[in-house]
Amino acid sequence: MSLRVGLVFGLESQWSLILAPTATVNNIRTITIDLDDTLWEIHPVIRRAELRLYEWLGENYPRITALYAPQDLSEVRSQVMVEFIDRAHDVTFLRHTVLGRIGVAAGYGSDFIEEAFSVFDEVRNDVELFPEVIPTLEALGERFQIIAVTNGNANLETIGIRHLFDGVVTAAMAGAAKPASQVFEMAVRAGGASKAETLHIGDQPLHDVEGARAAGLRTAWINRNGAEWPDEYARPDMEVVHVGEIPALLTVD
């Protein structure tokens, strides 16, 4: 650990100085970064998207909502995930499959799937970025290759930040979800640096930090809520509250 003065992006959109003990990481050329719960909070977004979809189904395909309460749809999703365990990394496929299953069960067939999914997807991509995200990505983009790495299906074009990334790697593209090594290996290839020169940033101790570490990457843990690090995993190279702290911790040799 070293004592440093870090730059933290505040809620009033001003940079302020804080004094805190943390580690620095050097010789980085590529940064891979998680999306959900790293750049925005995802759980309220998914709840809103699922509620809007259910309302839309009730308005346009009422036999579905007559047959399935919201909690019943959760059970259908669980069944689909078990049945298609080999496709569990592809969340879009899973949602399409659920829609098809409930549509057929209600006597509507499956022709409505794409329209229904677009209703969900519109809200799913209506996210509120954490306030430090855009200035941090802009700052990092001046020094590093930036690759988005996600198990989800966020659309960065729709969100409006695709231009801040040099590439995007999803679990569906890689054929496996984090913490599987192939996701990180694909991200490393996209970034063009070695694994040791690649820093992965994310909020999940297992999926992001342990997965990236096991794949040979350097790691940064986003710990917004002051959680305790799980003893069963090796500690990350650095721990920060949010991505706004990262630029000051990447030294140049």
Tens-digit pLDDT profile for residues 50-92: 999 999 999 999 999 999 999 999 999 999 999 999 999 999 9
Name the pTM for this structure.
0.88
* Predicted pLDDT of residue 194: 97
Percent of the chain with pLDDT over 90: 89
Whether the pLDDT of residue 9 is over 80: the answer is no
* Predicted pLDDT of residue 17: 34
* Predicted pLDDT of residue 26: 85
- pLDDT tens-digit profile of 172-199? 999 999 999 999 999 999 999 999 999 9
Question: Is the bond preceding residue 21 a cis peptide, omega within 30 degrees?
Answer: no
* Predicted pLDDT of residue 7: 36
Domain range summary for the chain, segments of one domain joined by +: 23-41+130-251, 43-124
Percent of the chain with pLDDT over 70: 90
- pLDDT tens-digit profile of 134-155? 999 999 999 999 999 999 999 9
Residue 219, beta-bridge partner list = 200
Whether the pLDDT of residue 1 is over 50: the answer is no
Cα 197–Cα 244–Cα 25 angle in degrees, nearest 5: 30
- pLDDT tens-digit profile of 100-129? 999 999 999 999 999 999 999 999 999 999
From CA 250, how far away is CA 28, in angstroms rounded?
7
Average pLDDT over the chain, rounded to whole? 91
- pLDDT tens-digit profile of 18-36? 333 356 688 999 999 999 9
* Predicted pLDDT of residue 73: 95
* Predicted pLDDT of residue 16: 33
Right CATH for 43-124 from 1.20.120.1600, 3.40.190.10, 3.40.50.300, 1.20.1250.20: 1.20.120.1600
* Predicted pLDDT of residue 19: 34
Q: Which pLDDT band, with edges at 50, 70 and 90, does 94 fall under? A: very high
* Predicted pLDDT of residue 224: 96
Q: What value does the mean pLDDT take over residues 92-102?
A: 98
Q: Which pLDDT band, with edges at 50, 70 and 90, does 253 fall under? A: low
Q: What value does the mean pLDDT take over residues 6-20?
A: 35
| Helices within the chain (DSSP H only) | 43-60, 62-67, 70-83, 91-105, 113-124, 133-141, 156-159, 171-174, 181-191, 211-214
| DSSP labels, 102-155 | HHHHTT--STTHHHHHHHHHHHHT---B-TTHHHHHHHHHTTSEEEEEESS---
Q: Which CATH superfamily is domain 23-41+130-251 in?
A: HAD superfamily/HAD-like (3.40.50.1000)
- pLDDT tens-digit profile of 202-245? 999 999 999 999 999 999 999 999 999 999 999 999 999 999 99
